[in-house]
Amino acid sequence: MIPRSFRHSAVAVVLLAASAVLAAPQPSTNQQIERRIEALLRQMTLQEKIGQLVQYDGITTDAATLAKEGRVGSFLNVTGAEKTTALQNAALQSRLKIPVLLGYDVIHGYRTIFPVPLGSAASFDPQLVEQSERVAAKEATAAGVKWTFAPMVDIARDPRWGRIVEGSGEDPYLGSMIAAARVRGFQGANLADPQSLVACAKHFVGYGAAEGGRDYNSSEIPEDTLREIYLPPFHAAVEAGVGTLMSAFEDLNDVPASANYHTLTEILRKEWRFDGFVVSDYNSVHELVPHGVAADDEQAGLQALTAGVEMDMADGVYDKHLAQLVQSHKLPMSTLDEAVRRVLRIKFRAGLFDRPIFTDVERARRDILTPANREVARHMAEESLVLLKNENSLLPLPKSGKKIAVIGPLADDQANQLGSWIGRGRAEDAVTPLQGITAKLGQQPVLHARGIDMLSLVRAQEVSGATGAAPAPTGATGAAAAGTETGPATIENAVQVAQQADVVVMVLGEPAGMSGEASSRAFLDLPGKQEQLLQEVVATGKPVVLVLESGRPLDIRWAAEHVPAIIQAWYPGIEAGNAIADLLFGDAVPSGRLPVSWPRSVGQIPVYYNHKSTGRPTAPDRWHTGYLDESMEPLFPFGYGLSYTSFSYSNLSVAPQVRPDEPLRVRATVQNTGQRTATDVVQLYVHRRVGPTSPRVRELKGFVRVTLRPGQSETVGFDFGQSAQVLATHDASMRPVVPAGTYDVWVVPNAAAEGAAGSFQVVTK
Ligand code: BGC
C-alpha cells in the first residue's frame, strides 16, 4: 500500500497546493448527505431501489422511457448539452425525482484530445497530468457528462496487451502518483462543482496481468504482488477521494474480478474504507456465466452484488433478477440497501440533487475546444515525447538551411494522431506532424511522401492473423493535409523524395486502432511494410529521424541500431504535430521518460525493472538466469529518456541508520553538464538486501522534475515522514513489515543507471 503520508513528500505538497482553485457551491456535509440518503431510501420501492443499481447504454435503449419510470440509475454514452438535459429532465419526472448519473469514457480528453494515458504518464509530471484532466472535466461536464470511466490504473508489464496504452505503465509508484493526479484533476476540489467529473478507477483489479497479454484473459497474482504492484494505484485513487471504481472482466486467482469478495469487499470496503460505489465493466456481471462461476444470470447477479459490485453496466442482469432474488430471500434487503446508499451518496456528492442540470448549449460552446485547452494539450504532448536515441546530436534540427522530407503513413494522418478511446475528439481538429513541421518552417518547402498508405497497414495486420476485432481504419487515411504530396504511396516514391532532402523525418508506427481494448498482438513489429520502407530510406544515406507513434513499445531492434535519432511519440493527441515540431527543432527540450521497460524482442516479455532476484542472478555464463539467444536487458530501461543536454548525479547522502518510524531523507546533487537549459526527471530507487521474502532488485520510491541551466547544479531532496512508508513490505503471512538490515538507495536518471548511490541500515530494536 502507499500510505497517505507517502504522497506528502516535499514533491507532492506542491501539487496539492496547485489543485485548489475553482470557486464552487458549498458542498453538503457528510452528515447532511447521510440524512438525505436515509430519508430517500425509506421512500423507495423495491423496484426503485433496484433501478439505482442499473446502468444502460444510452445508445441501445429507450433511455427517456426507462428514466421516467425510475428504472435506471445511470446511462453511459449519452453526451451533448441538449441530449443530456433532455434525459435528465425525463429522470426528474420519475416518482422520486432521482437524477441519473451520466457516464462516458473520457479517457484522454473529451474533445480536446490529449496524449494517450501511457504518453502523459511518460511526462512523470503529475501536476500537468492533473491540469490536463481538469480541462477534460471542464469540457465533458460542459457536454452534460458527470462521470468518466477513468483513470485506468492497471499496471501492465506486457506490451502485447493492447490496453497498456490506457494506463501508466509498469510501476506502482509512478502509477499511484499519476492515478491520484488524474482523480484530483477530474474531480477538482468539490465534486458538486459544475466543472467536476466523478472519476472511476478501473479495472479493479489485475486486468493488466492477463496471461500472454491476451485481453480478457485470466490473471494469477500472488497476494503480495497484488498488494505491492497491482493494488497501490487503486489505493492511491481511493485516498485521493475517487468516487467510483470499475470491476474488471478477468478471472483473478480463480474468482472473476466482478465477483471477487476478497478484493471488492475485504480490501476495498473494509481495509481501505471506500464509501463510493463499484460499477461492473460492460456485461461483466452476465459474463460470470461463461466464466463458469454462475449457472445463470440470476446467480451471476447475486454473486456480483454480494461481492461488492453495486451498479450493473449494460447487461440488465440486476434489472431482470434482483427483485426475484430479494423476494425469495436469497438476497437480503440490507445488501441491496447498502448498494443503493453508495450510489445515492455519489449522486449527492456530485451535487446532482441540487443542480441536476449544470450546462447548456452556450456553456458547451464556450468551454469546449478553446485555444487555452489546446495549449494545455500541446504542453502535455511535448512532455510526453521520449527521446530514445540521438547519435551525434542530430537533433535538434536547424530551422533553416536544410531541406526536410517528412515520410511515412502516419506523417500526415489526422485521425491516427489521436489514439484509441477518443471521446468526442475529431480527426479534423488534429495537427499532423507534417502540418506542425510545415508551420514551424514558414516559407521553406517541406517534402512529403507517405511511402505506404494507412489502409494497407490495417489490412496487413488482418492478413497476419491479428486475433480479436480487426483494427478499424480510424478516419483520414489519404490526402495530404499540408506540405507537398509528391506522388504515390509507394516505397519507391518515398526513396526518391528522401534523395532530394538533407534530412528525413519518418513518422511510422501502429494505426491507432491496433491499441486499446481487444487489440492484443503476438508480434510487436512495425505493421505492414514499414520496416522495409525505413530500411530503404536509411539506405539512401540521408540522416533519418524516426518518430514512432504507437500505443506500446514496438520491436525496433533494427532501427535502434541503424537510425541515428528516435523519438517515441505514443499518440500525442490533437496538438501532435506542433509538439513534435517543437521538439524536432529545439523549441522544446525532450523530458519524457519511459513508463515501461522497452523489450528488445517479444520473447523477453514480460521484462520489467522491478523483478525479484534469482538464486542465479544474470551473469555472462550459461548457468545463470537468461536466454541462450537473447540478452536479459531491455532495449531501453524503465525511466529512460534523453535530453538535448546531459546531467550528472553525485553526492548521495542519507543517514547511516534509521528506524521504521523515523523520517528518511535522501539528498543528491544533479548538475546540467551540457549546453541547454533542460528538465531532468530525477528518480529515487531503493533495494532491500535481505528480508523474509525475496526483494525486488530496485523499486521506484520518488521522482522529481528539475529544470537546470547549463552548468547549474542543485541538491535534490526526497523526504519521507517515516522510512516505513518507503520500505514496508509483506511477510509470508501478508503482514506489513519493515525488515531490519541494509538497504541500497540510488538517485539516478533511469532504473538501470548507477548515478549516485548509497546505503543505510534499518534498525528495529
Ligand atoms: C471497457 C471499459 C469501458 C466500458 C464502457 C468496456 O468495454 O473495458 O474500460 O469503460 O467498456 O465503455
Report the 3 state secondary structure along 526-593: CCCCHHHHHHHHHCCCCCEEEEEECCCCCCCHHHHHHCCEEEECCCCCCCHHHHHHHHHCCCCCCCCC
638 lines ligand 1 (CB under 6 A): no
Q: Render pLDDT for 104-146 as a digit per residue (tens, 0 to 9).
A: 999 999 999 999 999 999 999 999 999 999 999 999 999 999 9
Q: Which pLDDT does position 247 carry in this prediction?
A: 98
- Ligand 1 atom with minimal separation from the 200 CA: 10
Active site residues: 281
Closest C-alpha to ligand 1, atom 10: 149
- 58 Cα–ligand 1 center, Å: 14
pLDDT at 3 > cutoff 50: no
- 233 Cα–ligand 1 center, Å: 19
Pocket test for ligand 1, best of 108, 198, 281 (most atoms within 8 A of CB): 281
69 lines ligand 1 (CB under 6 A): no
Least confident of 232-241, 249-258, 467-476, 698-707: 467-476
Q: Render pLDDT for 673-714 as a digit per residue (tens, 0 to 9).
A: 999 999 999 999 999 999 888 999 999 999 999 999 999 999
Q: Which pLDDT does position 457 carry in this prediction?
A: 77
287 lines ligand 1 (CB under 6 A): no
- 186 Cα–ligand 1 center, Å: 18
202 lines ligand 1 (CB under 6 A): yes
In three state form, how does the secondary structure of 15-34 look? HHHHHCCCCCCCCCCHHHHH
- Ligand 1 atom with minimal separation from the 314 CA: 5
| 606 cis-preceded (ω within 30 degrees of 0) | yes
Is residue 301 within 8 A of residue 312, CB to CB? The reply is yes
pLDDT at 480 > cutoff 50: no
Per DSSP, helices labelled H in 164-210 are 172-187
163 lines ligand 1 (CB under 6 A): no
Q: Render pLDDT for 106-115 as a digit per residue (tens, 0 to 9).
A: 999 999 999 9
pLDDT at 494 > cutoff 60: yes
Grid cell, residue 627, equals 536466454
- 55 Cα–ligand 1 center, Å: 13
Q: Render pLDDT for 615-659 as a digit per residue (tens, 0 to 9).
A: 999 887 889 999 999 999 999 999 999 999 999 999 999 999 999
Closest C-alpha to ligand 1, atom 12: 105
105 lines ligand 1 (CB under 6 A): yes
- 260 Cα–ligand 1 center, Å: 19
**Residue 15 CB contacts under 8 Å (≥ 6 apart), including other chains:** 126, 127, 130, 181, 184
Closest C-alpha to ligand 1, atom 2: 281
pLDDT at 467 > cutoff 70: no
Segment 654-679 shows an average pLDDT of 98
Closest C-alpha to ligand 1, atom 8: 281
Closest C-alpha to ligand 1, atom 11: 282
Q: Render pLDDT for 554-606 as a digit per residue (tens, 0 to 9).
A: 999 999 999 999 999 999 999 999 999 999 999 999 999 999 999 999 999 99
75 lines ligand 1 (CB under 6 A): no
Residue 582: half-sphere exposure toward Cβ, Cα within 13 Å: 22
517 lines ligand 1 (CB under 6 A): yes
Residue 708 has phi, psi (to 5 degrees) of -130, 140
- Ligand 1 atom with minimal separation from the 166 CA: 9
pLDDT at 4 > cutoff 60: no
- Look-up: residue for cell 447487461? 315
Continuous segment of H or E residues that includes residue 337: helix 333-349
Rounded CA separation 213/160 (Å)? 5
- 76 Cα–ligand 1 center, Å: 10
Is residue 551 within 8 A of residue 116, CB to CB? The reply is yes
Closest C-alpha to ligand 1, atom 5: 282
149 lines ligand 1 (CB under 6 A): yes
- 282 Cα–ligand 1 center, Å: 6
Grid cell, residue 129, equals 497530468
- Ligand 1 atom with minimal separation from the 77 CA: 12
- 142 Cα–ligand 1 center, Å: 22
pLDDT at 443 > cutoff 50: yes
pLDDT at 483 > cutoff 80: no
Closest C-alpha to ligand 1, atom 7: 282
pLDDT at 238 > cutoff 50: yes
Grid cell, residue 618, equals 544474470
Rounded CA separation 89/86 (Å)? 5
Q: Render pLDDT for 6-36 as a digit per residue (tens, 0 to 9).
A: 333 333 323 333 333 344 556 689 999 999 9
Query: Of 739, 620, 633, nearest to 687 (Cα)?
Result: 739
Whole-number Cα distances in Å, 162 to 157, 207, 217, 468: 11, 12, 12, 11
Q: Which pLDDT does position 461 carry in this prediction?
A: 60
Query: Of 284, 352, 294, nearest to 315 (Cα)?
Result: 284
Residue 460: pLDDT band (50, 70, 90) is low
Segment 384-392 shows an average pLDDT of 98
56 lines ligand 1 (CB under 6 A): no
- 663 Cα–ligand 1 center, Å: 42
281 lines ligand 1 (CB under 6 A): yes
Q: Which pLDDT does position 456 carry in this prediction?
A: 78
- 141 Cα–ligand 1 center, Å: 19
- 621 Cα–ligand 1 center, Å: 47
Pocket test for ligand 1, best of 105, 153, 164, 280 (most atoms within 8 A of CB): 105
Pocket test for ligand 1, best of 282, 286, 519 (most atoms within 8 A of CB): 282
- Look-up: residue for cell 519524457? 592
Q: Render pLDDT for 508-552 as a digit per residue (tens, 0 to 9).
A: 999 999 999 999 999 999 999 999 999 999 999 999 999 999 999
Tell me what percent of the chain is helix, strand and coil, each rounded to the nearest 5: 35, 20, 45
Whole-number Cα distances in Å, 483 to 429, 446, 447: 17, 6, 7
Pocket test for ligand 1, best of 77, 104, 116, 149 (most atoms within 8 A of CB): 149
Residue 478: pLDDT band (50, 70, 90) is very low
Grid cell, residue 557, equals 531492434
Q: Render pLDDT for 29-63 as a digit per residue (tens, 0 to 9).
A: 999 999 999 999 999 999 999 999 999 999 889 99
Q: Which pLDDT does position 462 carry in this prediction?
A: 57
* Predicted TM-score (pTM) of this structure: 0.94
Closest C-alpha to ligand 1, atom 4: 282
Q: Render pLDDT for 300-342 as a digit per residue (tens, 0 to 9).
A: 999 999 999 999 999 999 999 999 999 999 999 999 999 999 9
